[in-house]
Every structure is written in C-alpha cells, then in structure tokens.
Structure 1
Amino acid sequence: MGRNKKRSSKKNNSANLMENGNSKETKSNNTTGKLELEIMKNTNQQLSISILDITSRLNLPLKPTGIDLSVDSDDDETLEFHIRPRFVYMCNLCLICMNICNCGVQCDNCQMVSYCSEQHREENKIQHQVLCRALSNICDGMKGFSLAKSLPPDLYRTFRIKTIGAIEKMLGRQLDLWEREIILYPRICRNCKKIDKELILCQDCEVDFFCQDHHQDHSKWCKDFQVFRKILFMQHKHGYVDPDVPVVFYNEPHVLPENFDFLMYSMFANSPSYRRIDCYTYASLSYVSTAPLTTLFAIQKTIYDWKSREELKIHIIGAEFQFECASLRVWEKLFLHFLPKLRKLSLEFTGPELYLPCAPPELLSKIKMCRKCKLLKRKIDVKFNSQMLYHKIMDENNPDLICLYNPGLYRETGFDGTDTWPCTIKKFCNAKVPVVVTSYTEFEIPRDIERIKSICSVEVLLEPQRNPFAAVKPDRNFVSDDVAPLMYKNYCISIVKGL
C-alpha cells in the first residue's frame, strides 16, 4: 500500500511538471531528467517524514472537526460518550494554567508544585495548603526524595506508592489522580534520582529534568515529551476533542497498509483537512482507532478466510469503558466499512475494572450506524460483562479472536492485589483461537508472552514487535519508568494460540 502511494506521488509530480510546460525538455535532457528524479525522491522522503512524524503537527492550531453526513438525523436513540479529560500534573507546568514555569516559582513549603508567576502561586495558596501540609509532614516535601538515590527501581516505585498511602491516611481521603502524580512523577533525574538544584531543564521540551550525566537518555525521549506537553496544554485549553474518523466504504476487503499514518493519509485522500490536523486531534484519532485497527490487523494476520467472513466474534479481556467502549461507532467505520462481506460483528467486553455508566443496558450496547450499513441490514452486537473475571464466564461458543489490550500479564499483583491471570490464561489458551496481546512498552511484551508460556503450551503466531496501529498519544509510565518514561496504548503486539 505504501509503495503504491509513493508511486502515485511520483506520477503526480510528473503531472505537475507537464502542466508547467516542461515535459519535452525533461524527455530530451538527461541532466534535467536526473534533476527531476532527485526532486521526486526528496519530495517522497519529505512526504514520508511528514506522515510518520507527529511532531510536524506541533504548531498547528486546533481545528473544528467535520460533521458525519453518513448518519441519519432521525436515527434511533443511541448514547455517545465524550470522556472529559482530567487535569494532569507535571512538575514544570503551572498548577493553574498549565503554562511552562520559567521563573522558578514553587510552593515555599513542600517545593513539589510549580507556578508560572507569583500571582498564580497566591491564587492557589489556600487550595493547596492542606495537601502541602501532608506532603511536608509525610515526606518532608522534595527533601524526602533525596533518600531515593540509593533505591533500585522497584523499591523506588514502592516508596512512592507507600508515600501516597501514608498521605491518604493522614488526609482521611483518597488523593485525586493529579494529586497522586505529584508523588509519582516528582522533579527528579530518572536515572540517578538526583533532585531539584542539581538538575537541568531541557530547553526543547521544557518539561523534563535530568542531571548533567544523563542528557543522552533524555534526548531519546525529547520529541515525545514535546508532543506530550503540547497535548496537555491543548487539552487543558480546549477540553475534549471528538476526532473525525473518515467514512470510507471499500467494495473489496481492504488490506491494511504499513501503519496508522498511511491509513489515515489514504482515508483522508491527502486532503487539506488531513494536512491541517493538529497533534492533539491526531493523537486522539489514533487513540480511539487503535483498538479496532489492532484487532483488524490481527485478524488479517491469523484468520486465513477473513476476506469472505460474514460473521466475526471477538472477545476483549480486561476492558475499560473509557478506552475500548466509549467510541464504539469507530468499530463500524473500521470494520464493517473495511470488510464488505461482513454482516455481523459481535463484541464482548469483560473486565473487573469495566465500570458502566448509569444508563439503560440496551442503550449502552447500541451503536449509531450509517445509512448504508442499515440498508444492508448489517449489525454490531455488543455485550458487557461488567466487573467480572473472564475465566468465571460460561461461553457456549468460542470466539474467532481474543484480545488483551495492555494487560500486564507478567505482573503478579493484579486486580485487587491478587493474581487472577493464571486461570484466565488457561481459559483463553484452551479456546485454541488466536489471542492478541499488546503492551504499553517494549519492556513488557516479551514478559507477557513468557508468562503465558509458563502456564500453557502455545504457538506464537506473531513474535513480539512494534504495533503499526498503536496510539501515538503519549502518557507517562509508572510501572517501568526506569526503562521508558512515556508509554503508548498498544505500543507492542504479539499473537499466540493455545496448543
């Protein structure tokens, strides 16, 4: 797909030359011909970079999304969910406005929160004082983190978790997620645990700190931190954005291209709207698309007759509503529209942390369908096994595919502090169907597959590798932050099958 796209780009470049009246000279002059080839080569290289690199969208302003005209205005009653972005704390972003803190204004007592100005520090003083007192008493603010220098990564993570527990006990309440992030991600060098005055602030991303000995480690992540900072700022300023997944119908089963970027490029037909998508909207677009696209990618890799299937049944284990379930219509756009022979797609979501909104079950499972799919009587059946473990569910028939998105199978402290994965692993291996496992980082995926192998005999259908349809929206990584400070939904993928 990508190679075909590049050939068409060359054709377009040649057409432009002919429109300018240069085609005869090009044919008759070898020097000019070589120059034309070099121009086309450079153009293709630039095109690939602009498609594959989200940082090229950093300076684009937020644009309103279009209206999906494929849906009837008098459609049956359905529910659409817009998950409101929560406030995210970062040690060098102002606690009030999320701007960069260049003036070194911090809380005088705990020294763990920053402000862009004295005015914003004063504005936040009363609201911050209760938490500030707890931070100062429990861990002596940032001074307490000087003890972390001698701790190995796992114990440093334990130290932060126990600090959160002690603060919550003192306050008599659970900390908000952003309050926890003050302790989870303090101003500290990730490599050697040096603190505050010994640290250097990166002048490019303006959010990550490191000591003079570990600049090289930061440089590997600097662009990712730039994207992360920009997304946080736009999220704080504009709130939720509803990414507009294009409506494209394929008459033949559509084989996915090399990656998410090339797919969007082709679906938007390289239109001006595609070239104007800012990094926040583009990251959100990949975020809502990664689950169905990763599933479709796995189907095309492992189910030999996927092109002719009229029905597909998929189980998603360890599901979370705000990730896999909040944008269910994307499954129609990226499954039914891509597989014209498919008449019925069955999705079953299961997980102990699958908490459903307060709404009638029949509305939660109903997906708004386009006119064409309704006319052809195609449908998507959705079932939720809320707050349930997969191995405790009785199924009459096995699915065609089982998906575990970012499960962290290798960790033995699972839901509610207990390790329930062995029973679940046995069940999905006994189904003897392809099982998709993804992870947030390269560190986790081989460990997840080894955990499966330690419990059941499996065939590895797809070795652990980067997922071409991972989300490009970064988030901070606590579980293995000594290896990778940022993580991405479905970053790596592997596929196994029980023997």
Structure 2
Amino acid sequence: MGRRKRNSKKLSGVTQKICESKISEKLNSDEKGETGQQEESFSALEKAIDVYQRVSLPLVHSMYDRSPDGSDEEEDAVVLNFCPRFVFVSNLCLICMERSEEACESCGMVSYCTIKHKKQGWPKHRDLCKVLTEVCTNGGGLSFLPDLTADDYRVYRLKLIEIAERRLERLLEPWEKEILLYPRVCCSCRYFSKALRYCPACGIELFCENHDGKHEEWCRDFQVFRRVLFMQHRNGNVDPEIPDTFQDNPLHLPDNFDLLMAQLYSRSTYYCNMDCYTYCSLSHISTIPLTTLYSMQISCQDWETIDTFVVHVIGAEFQFECINLHMWEKFFLHLLPNLKHLRLMFIGPELRLPAVPLDLLTAVKICSACKSLDRRVNVSFHPGKFYHNFCRTKQFIKPNLVCLFNPGLYRETGFEGRDTWPETIREFCKIKVPVCVTSYTKHEIPREIIRIKSIIDVETILEPERNPFASIKPDRNFVSDDAAPLIYKNYYLAIIRGKS
C-alpha cells in the first residue's frame, strides 16, 4: 500500500502547552550541555503529530533495515506475537467492520452493511440470534435497562451471558460476550431499539430520538477506537518500527509521548507517515518500558550515572508485561549510555509462561553495539508466586524500582477470590525503594493509593497524574463504564515509597 507524505504539524491545545512549558523550563536551566537538547526539543515540537491527526492515514509498512544474515540480533531470541481476535461493535458490520444502520431483524443486536454480508454471517450468528431474541427482545430483557444503577447494569449484563450460555449449552466466544457486554442501546439512557442513530463522527456511540448524539468528551477517542478496529480487522497485527537512537548523553524524557517519538524519529519519514493503528500499537508496546524509565527519572537521583538497574514487576501477566522484551534495550540501554546492566524480574501468581524453553524465552535481542560494550538485559520469570513469598527466596535481588501496572489493589477479591494484597503491600514498602503504580482510569488511581496508605505509612514521590507514556490504544471499559467508556493501559501514574 502506498504512503502519502504528511506536512509537519504542531501539537494543539493542552498538549502543545505542556510541551512548550517543558521546553521553557529547559531554556531557564543553567546546566551544562543543555543548548543542543533545547534545539532538538524545538525541532521535535514542530514535527510532533498526535494520534488524532493520524486517523485518516493509510497503513504504513515497517522499514526495518535488517541484515540478511540477522547478525545484528541475538540468534536464539524468541519473538512472540499474539494475533488480534475479532472485536464486536453493535453498529459495525459483523463481516467487514464498516458502519451499518441496519440491525438484525430478529434480535436487533448485531449489524450487517449488506444483504450479502448478512447471508455470509448468518451461519455463525443463527444459534445465538435465537437465544438473544428470546432473552433480550421477546422477553423484554433490555427494556428496563434505563432503570438500573450502573453497578446493577454491569451485574445484569453478566447474568445475561450466563443465561445465553445455559440456553446454548456452550461457552460464548469473546466477541459473542461483547454483544451483551456492550449492547445496542442508547449511550445516554440505555434505551434499546432497532432504530437507534449512530454518531456521524465516530460511528460507534448510539443515540435514541430523545438524545442529540453529542458526546464531545469521548468522540475523538472513539474515532481512534473505530479506526484501530477496522485496520486491525483488515491487516491483523502490525509490527511498528521501533526508534533505534543511541544517545551520547542520558536522555531526559519529555512529558509527552508524541514529542519523544518526534525526537527519536527525527531523521525518519516513517514517523510522519505512521498511521493511527501502527502509532497506537507502538505506544501500546512501549508503555511498560517508557513508564518504568519515566518513573526511574522522577524517583531515582542517580538515574543518569547508575550502571546497574534492577526492576521488579509485581503481579505480572505474560501477555501484558512480558512480551516485546526487546523494547527495554531500545529505551534503556540506548537512551542511558552509562547503564550497562538492566535486570528485569517478573513475579506474579497469574504469570503463565508459554511452552517455550526458558533460556529462549528470557533471551532479549541485543544489538551488536551493545554486545561489543558488554551491555545486557537479563530477564527472569517467577511464575505462580506472590511477591511477599518471592522476597523470602534465594532468587530475590533488591530492586531499584518496583512496578505495579494496573494492579487493582483496591479490589478485595483478587487472585482466586482472595485478598492477598495486604501482605504484598507491606513487603514492597518494607524495601523502601520507589514504587510505581498505574491504573486504567483516572478514577482508579486514588483508590489504589488509599488502599496502600490504609495498610502502611508511605511517602508520596509523585501525586497521581496523567501518565505521559500511557498507551494511546483505546479499549472498552466494562468495570467502570459509567465514569469512562474507554480505558488505556497505564493511563494514570503515582509513585510512593515506604517510610522507615
């Protein structure tokens, strides 16, 4: 697919003000050697392009310059990619993900853009359609949704899934569950009708005749969501080209993902051509190492000169924190020239490793330049372990930073229905090192910190704030959809440390 060039654009609104403020701070600094960084920041600001400006761009293909014999990479490293599954959206065609105003005549819960696609999709929808019609339409199961509280509405949708599975005598596929988790109802009042109107801008949110279809706060994010789903459905996984820039001096991260990417891709047209889906995917696989690096720079005074850095990731799950391990080399070893050894330790009771030899699973791709300087990334997995138990084993090495990514500390029904967090919280606070905690939404992070402070006394290094290196790839929110219909990985961030 051809690429079209894009003129450089400035950031707009709040994003630009944040970047300009950051640059202004740098201009006022008297530290030696900052003049060159100031000029780079101004140049990057001019070139920075956010995800909203990329929605209409066609798919861009990676321009990796790989050596034919692969000599620049670890020969025995394993790259694991998870194929994206089909995601259901009530007013997008079940076959092609195009917008459709025509709902199924029987259940009214799914959409097809053409008669042809309806016939094509009928075989996999037929059995469920009958159940949906009986439970949701004929039985009036969706007629009283407007009267439910937000919590009752969530419980009721889960009950509908249970009923459907009993009627079908099988478990629903993930996309089938989404028909009931995110039903075809008015997003303002939950009114169910086959004749709802969709927002002309995002094409996702639905409205009844009593509501005007305005949802400015989330509309642009839903536009990104729809574009990502469409391109994912058409193209499967994308493999973003990772910025591969070596810094002569330690790079202090700007408070903005777009600005950082513009800076790191400064000599590449790939950044300007990058489409919405690829850019979201880039941020999604970058958010774990970048959030860690950002937390390191905020909380560790010697981050510029330290040569060995140990990170503990608590409550790790393989598909979320433990893939794309090569990203750590690009964002730590390449941006921090004094760092020689990065050690990553992933611990968690829900950490399940794939059936791959462990020595291959822990091998991280290292470039020839890092190899020649004996720089390395060491990874160890500690599956099936609670952190408070791991700390008492011989494998324990004191960390410089502890990370909990979207942990849900405030929930008292955790692993296997038990509340195991109090012991773990006491343990990571007892070590007295910085602890980075993130959440999917703005509303969760205060609850996370309140939970920690209810158990042990801590100092706050960073008050909860919007994480500049959160994933910009949106996903739907079921847990607190009344407050935020979309969620983002590592959306909010706080840093604390146990007191002595």
**What TM-score does the superposition give when structure 2 sets the normalisation length?**
0.87
SS across alignment from 1:231: helix
Identify the residue that residue 419 of structure 1 maps to in structure 2. Answer: 419
Give the superposition deviation at 1:413.
2.5
Correspondence for 1:274: 271
1:100 is matched with: 99
What code does the residue aligned with 2:342 have? L
Does the 8 Å contact 1:168/1:175 carry over to 2? yes
Offset of 1:75 from its aligned partner? Answer: 3.8
User: What residue number does 1:40 align with?
Assistant: none
Change (3 A) 1:249 1:243: same
The structural deviation recorded for 1:135 is 2.4
- The 8 Å contact of residues 55 and 227 in structure 1, kept in 2 or not, is answered as yes
Contact 2:19-2:45 within 8 A present in 1 as well? no
Note the C-alpha offset of 1:109.
2.5
Q: Higher mean Cα deviation, 291-300 or 378-387?
A: 378-387
One-letter code of the match for 2:357?
Answer: P
Partner of 1:117: 114
TM-score of the aligned structures, taking structure 1 as reference length: 0.87
Instruction: Please give the secondary structure, in 1, of the residue aligned with 2:141.
Output: helix
Q: Which residue does the alignment assign to 1:355?
A: 352
Contact 1:109/1:141, CA 8 A, preserved across alignment: no
Q: What is the Cα deviation at residue 320 of structure 1? A: 2.1
Offset at residue 91 of structure 1 (A): 0.5
Alpha-carbon distance, 1:197 to partner: 5.0
CA 356–268 in structure 1, closer or farther in 2 if over 3 Å, else same: same
Aligned equivalents of 1:406, 1:141: Cα separation in 2 = 40
Question: Take 1:298 and 1:213, find their aligned partners in 2: how far apart are those partners?
Answer: 47
Query: 1:485 aligned to 2:485?
Result: yes
- Within the candidate set 151, 162, 180, 1:183 is matched to 180
Larger helix proportion of the pair:
1
Measured against aligned partners, the alpha-carbon deviations of 1:404-429 in whole angstroms (never above 9, x if no partner) come to 11112222222333322222222212
For 1:432, the equivalent position in structure 2 comes to 432
**1:165 partnered with 2:162:** yes
Rounded to whole Å, the distance in 2 between the matches of 1:448 and 1:216 is: 34
Could you say which residue in structure 2 is the equivalent of 1:63?
A: 60
Q: 1:361 to 1:72 in 2, by over 3 A?
A: same
Larger of the two Rg values belongs to structure: 1
Shift of 1:255: 0.6
Asked if structure 1 preserves the Cα contact closer than 8 Å seen for 2:47 and 2:262, the reply is no
**Shift in alpha-carbon separation, 1:340–1:460, aligned structure 2, 3 A:** same
**3-state SS of 1:312 partner:** strand
CA contact (8 A) 2:406 2:440 kept: yes
Task: Give 1:328's aligned amino acid.
Answer: L
Matched, 1:325 2:322: yes
C-alpha displacement at 1:374, in angstroms? Answer: 0.6
Structure 1 pair 215–53 and aligned structure 2 pair: CA distance change class (3 A): farther
Change (3 A) 1:386 1:133: farther
Task: Provide the C-alpha distance between the structure 1 equivalents of 2:146 and 2:165, rounded to a whole number of angstroms.
Answer: 24
Seen in structure 2, the aligned counterparts of structure 1 residues 198 and 496 have a Cα distance that, compared at 3 Å, is farther
Contact 1:112 1:186 in 2 (8 A): yes
Distance 1:69 1:238, change over 3 A: same
**Take 2:195 and 2:414, find their aligned partners in 1: how far apart are those partners?**
37
Q: 1:217 to 1:204 in 2, by over 3 A?
A: closer
C-alpha separation in 2, matches of 1:409 and 1:269: 40
Q: Is the 8 A contact 1:458 1:496 kept in 2?
A: yes
Task: Please say if 1:365 is aligned against 2:362.
Answer: yes
Which ranges of structure 2 fall in alignment gaps of 5 or more residues? 1-17, 25-41
Q: Which residue of 1 aligns with 2:298?
A: 301
CA distance in 2, matches of 1:160, 1:485: 15
Kept in 1, the 8 Å contact 2:49–2:272? The answer is no
- Number of the residue aligned with 1:220: 217
* CA deviation after TM superposition for structure 1 residue 73, in Å: 5.1
**Equivalent residue of 1:256, what SS?**
coil
Letter in 2 for 1:98: M
**1:30 maps to which residue?**
none
The change in CA–CA distance for 1:274 and 1:107 in structure 2 (over 3 A counts) is same
1:341 maps to 2:338: yes
Q: Say which is worse superposed, 187-196 or 433-442, in terms of deviation.
A: 187-196
CA-CA distance at 1:142 after TM superposition: 8.9
Report deviation, 1:173.
3.0
Query: Does the 8 A contact of 1:50 with 1:56 survive in 2?
Result: no
**Counterpart secondary structure, 1:98:** coil
Cα 1:178–1:257 change in 2 (3 A) is same
1:314 aligned partner:
311
2:39 is aligned to none
Corresponding position of 1:87: 86
Q: CA deviation at 1:440?
A: 0.9
Percent identity of equivalent pairs: 48
Aligned to 1:473, the other structure's residue is in SS state: coil
SS in 2 for 1:144: coil
By how many angstroms is 1:461 displaced?
A: 0.7
Which residues in structure 2 correspond to 1:448-487 (within 5 Å)?
Answer: 448-487=448-487
Q: Distance in 1 between matches of 2:252 and 2:145?
A: 50
The separation in 2 between residues aligned to 1:210 and 1:62, in whole angstroms, is 31
Does 416-425 or 274-283 show the bigger shift? 416-425
Partner of 1:410: 410
- Deviation by residue 1:328-375 (Cα, 9 ceiling, x = unmatched): 000000001111111111111122332221110110000111001111
Q: 1:398 to 1:208 in 2, by over 3 A?
A: same
Superposed CA offset, 1:221-256 (max 9, x none): 111111100010000001100111111011111110
Q: Which amino acid aligns with 1:466?
A: R
Q: Which residue matches 1:13? A: none
Deviations 1:81-100 (A, max 9, x none): 12211110000111111111
